[in-house]
Amino acid sequence: MPTIFTRIIDGEFPGHFVWRDDACVAFLSINPLQPGHTLVVPRAEVDHWVDLDAEVAAHLTTVAREIGRAQMTAFAPTKIGLMIAGLEVPHTHLHVVPIRDVHDLDFANAATSVAQADLTAAAESVRAALQAVGATGVSA
């Protein structure tokens, strides 16, 4: 049975995409820790990140870095947090989160409901910042 992330990637469920390429996608979390919280997800369903092909793992990190740079421009946080937890969905995903404090990475503080307009605006901000630096995988 496909994971929820595969179903989002395949368009079965909606997603606020900011990146798409042959190896991965990135879309906003529907339960963000902070505005702009983005998930970088390989297209291949691999449960544990240590089982990823080394090239795919490196690519995910490179994409997360590009998105983090865009988030710095779009949201002006103190830092960008990067986390691989993998407990909530059995499909590897990197959390790229604009943060001001270490507590901004606490899943107990995740939003339980976010207006679609807010997610759309955050995605547009990230995409615009990616486009401004000439990133190649920016989602339409």
Q: 3-state SS of the chain: helix, strand, coil percent to 5?
A: 40, 20, 40
Tokens of 131: 């486009």
pTM value surpassing 0.85: yes
Does the pLDDT of residue 136 top 90, yes or no? Answer: no
Structural domains of the chain in order of their starting residue, each with its CATH number = 4-125 (3.30.428.10)
Is residue 39 within 8 Å of residue 95, measured between CB atoms?
yes
pLDDT value of position 126: 96
Does the pLDDT of residue 140 top 90, yes or no? Answer: no
**Nearest CA to 38 among 60, 2, 12, 64?**
64
Rg (CA), the chain: 14
